[in-house]
Structure 1
Amino acid sequence: MTEDPLLTSLLAAVAAAPDDVPLRLHVAELLAAARRPAEALAHCSHVLAVEPGNAAALALLQRLTAALSAATPPAPAQPSTFDWAKAEEQVADIAAPAFAQDASSPPVEDVEIARRPTVRLADVGGMDEVKQRLELAFLGPVRNPELARRFGTTARGGLLLYGPPGCGKTFIARAVAGELGAKFVEIGIADVLDMWVGRSERNLAELFRTARRNAPCVLFLDEVDALGQKRSNLTHSGSLRNTVNQLLAELDSATGANDGVFVLGATNHPWDLDSALRRPGRFDRMLLVLPPDAPARAAILRHHLRDRPVAELDLAALVKATEHYSGADLAHVCDTAAERALALSMRSGTVQPLTTRDLLGAAREVTPSTGPWFAAARNVALFGNTDGSYDELAAYLKRNRSL
């Protein structure tokens, strides 16, 4: 191709002044006229990099793109020589991926309904105040529907159990189901959340449908704050926002009557729940489940020591030394003391039973896990209790200033 002397001089000028926009546009126009659109496009792109809104460059870019598209002939179709039949035979015995499911397919498995729990509230050691609140707010209207109707009360809606971890919220929920003679379905976050779009909402709807089919039924949502997070904190997670919306719809019985389905929720962080979940007809009642009181601690310690060799035991001293310990902490104390006694027994060759000294030593070693929870809850009770929801928690903290 014979080079135009004028164009050669202009290209040299462009090389000396690469950001001269009028010069580059003039060169691009000359290249386009000389049927060299690819080179013209490079100069046009440089102009737009310097001045993104340059109207002349944008118009030229449109003409150059159209010219390049028209100049590129479609690739000729190549005859296929691949033997698809043979390939299908080779992979015929390979199972399809287990995680790939069509959106219209049924859920992976139906929800397994637990048998009716045999545990009752009488099996919950101590915690008389919690039992009384449960009886008045939840169990009483269920057991006496006619009387409750005359007073205009009902068990409709949900009950939210909250408090430090390890204090028996799940055990109490099972005991409620036992009192009602109802089946018990426990739902965790793994039963609902799914990586596929729309499956989390579908799983939640199926769990509620299964509970309705098996009424009377206690539907227990463990760690409900994970499923019902504040939607204002989920601006970048549309899937979780939709899950919260689905939970609200199911609690409102948007897809079916919840008669005979008693919804209990448990959380360690009620202040993280979406405020819509606390409205009437949903989780409109809250019950604070505190660390076990003295009678409850005595019952828990007896339970964990019943099948272990014990020489002598000052239960009152041990109960006094484990104030503010959760039920899980008390189990850890017994396990720690048993490990020490086991090690001593293996060294001596004879069984060394547990003593009060062993258990008190283990209690000094195990730090109560409720401390960090109360530290966080104190700020909520003091500065976030605008509607009185945490009055009971604030009163407890006032009585126990050491927490």
Structure 2
Amino acid sequence: MSDALIDSLTAAVGARPDDLPLRRHLAELLIAAGRRAEAVAHAAQLLAHDPTDPATQQLMSAALTAPPPAAPPPAAAPAVSGPPTDPAATPSASEKERSFSRDRDRDRGGVDWDALEGEFDGVVPPRFARDEDAAEPVRGDRDRAFDVERTTVTLADVGGMQEVKKRLEMAFLGPLRNPELRRLFGKSLRGGMLLYGPPGCGKTFLARAVAGEMGAAFISLSITDVLTMWMGSSERNLHDLFTAARGHAPCVLFLDEIDALGHKRSQLGSSAMRTLVNQLLTELDGVDANNDGVFVLAATNAPWDIDPALRRPGRLDRTLLVLPPDEPARAAILEYHLRDRPVAGIKLAKLAAATDHFSGADLAHVCETAAEYAMRDAITTGEVRMISQQDMTDAVREIRPSTDAWFATARSVALFGNDSGEYDDLAAYLKKRKLL
């Protein structure tokens, strides 16, 4: 085979890299000339365009397979036994197996892609590209990664709610800030607290504020992060979550909608869900690991649906009722949601007094509705105006507190399900509102 012809074809392929028939012909000539390394590079380029093409696979197999050496003439058997055979010269069973596998792959047209990519790294592009800009590779279920946050929100960002802040200070923040007193009184850096109350009253925001006040990591978990359709996977996900929290201690682990994960086992018809509750109890106890530095905050709208075992000492043994925001908190929430809107003449104190029993979410909806009133007038008249006090007042009149339905249910619990006294704070609030 003329080297000049191969060189001319190589130059032509370099000028026309997408001419696949020309590249294929060049690879065949290189194989015939014994220049197999060059042929492999061209065959790899062809396979990159169509990895399933049988002809290209055979071409690659031919380029990788060296011609068999000529068989030597059979040697005559020695008349006298010679010295013992050198064990190193005799192929081992594993070497025979590897040789057999290579011959089998060659006969079937198979290619050792890993070895090939390693040999021609930098010469031929890889079959599967990896995003070098990605912070981490995609992880499978056996190496799950959870979002670990560092929040800057503190309790100073929470308007009002002084009693709630005092309770959090006593349960979590005080022991952390006073290590000497903590050691003196034997207070461990572990524990759990259950936040309960009507929806939309800032339980999640409080949990973030606790983490920010501590300077601790924050991991939030919902039921969608745990439950899967595969047997045992939900329990493993829950274990991985607690392992991540222990690895980032001090850490606030927030379990949202805990009633979905820890529902009363006596009311569960699914054995898988009962097993999940058992796993949650095990993780809270820290049987297989140390939970020091892991502060578990759980939130629910229905504490009466939670398995009683979750509320025993050492687990979620402290309970905090998160009520609708008080008047100072309502004024702060209204100001927050109006800060980036065009407003004029807004009397926050008057609005806060008129929105008793409104949740934080209700107050955000009031601001949104008032903005719609002003925008509707701008569209109708063609003149843009500011959001006025009248817009806010009309919005308050239109929107009803969403907490009323929750308190109707809570009233029944306070009347008939408070034998242990665990809902005394709820009963006191209902009496204050003359609902009990």
TM-score range (shorter-chain normalised) is 0.7 to 0.9
**Counterparts of 1:109 and 1:299 in 2: how far apart (Å)?**
42
Distance 1:249 1:402 in 2: 39
Rounded to whole Å, the distance in 2 between the matches of 1:109 and 1:330 is 41
Q: Say which of 205, 212, 223 aligns to 1:171.
A: 205
Which residue identity is paired with 1:200?
S
What is the CA–CA distance in structure 2 between the aligned matches of 1:402 and 1:269, rounded to whole Å? 19
Query: Aligned residue for 1:56?
Result: none
Given that 1:191 and 1:203 are in contact with CA atoms closer than 8 Å, whether structure 2 keeps it comes out as yes
Partner of 1:158: 192
Q: TM-score, normalised by structure 1?
A: 0.72
The equivalent position to 1:255 in structure 2, one of 252, 263, 288, is: 288
Q: Quote how far apart the aligned CAs of 1:148 are.
A: 2.6
Partner of 2:169: 135
Cα separation, partners in 2 of 1:379 and 1:316, compared to 1, 3 Å: same
Kindly indicate whether residue 279 of structure 2 is the aligned counterpart of residue 241 of structure 1. no
**1:361-380 mapped onto 2 (5 Å cutoff):** 361-380=394-413
Residue 191 (structure 1) aligned to one of 211, 218, 225: 225
Q: Partner residue of 1:21? A: none
* 1:335 has 2:363 as partner: no
Deviation at 1:202, TM superposition (A): 0.7
1:265-344 to 2 correspondences below 5 Å: 265-344=298-377
CA positional deviation for 1:142: 2.0
2:428 matched to which residue of 1? 395
Say whether the 8 Å CA contact 2:207–2:254 is kept in structure 1.
yes
Match of 1:148 among 182, 190, 197: 182
The correspondence for 1:120, drawn from 117, 130, 154, is: 154
1:106 positional shift: 5.4
Percent identity between the two aligned chains: 64
Q: In structure 1, what residue type is equivalent to 2:293? A: G
Deviations 1:262-312 (CA, angstroms, capped at 9, x unpaired):
111000001100000000000000011000000000000000001111121
Q: Deviations over 1:37-72 (max 9, x none)?
A: xxxxxxxxxxxxxxxxxxxxxxxxxxxxxxxxxxxx
Amino acid at match of 1:192: V
User: TM-score, normalized by length of structure 2?
Assistant: 0.67
SS at match of 2:254: strand
Aligned length: 303
C-alpha distance in 1 between matches for 2:140 and 2:389:
57
SS at match of 2:298: strand
Long gaps (5+) in structure 2? 1-107, 109-138
Return the offset for 1:109: 5.6
CA distance in 2, matches of 1:225, 1:142: 28
Corresponding residue SS for 2:344: strand
TM-superposed deviation, 1:340: 1.3
CA contact (8 A) 1:230 1:275 kept: yes
- 1:182/1:217 contact within 8 Å kept: yes
Amino acid at match of 1:291: P
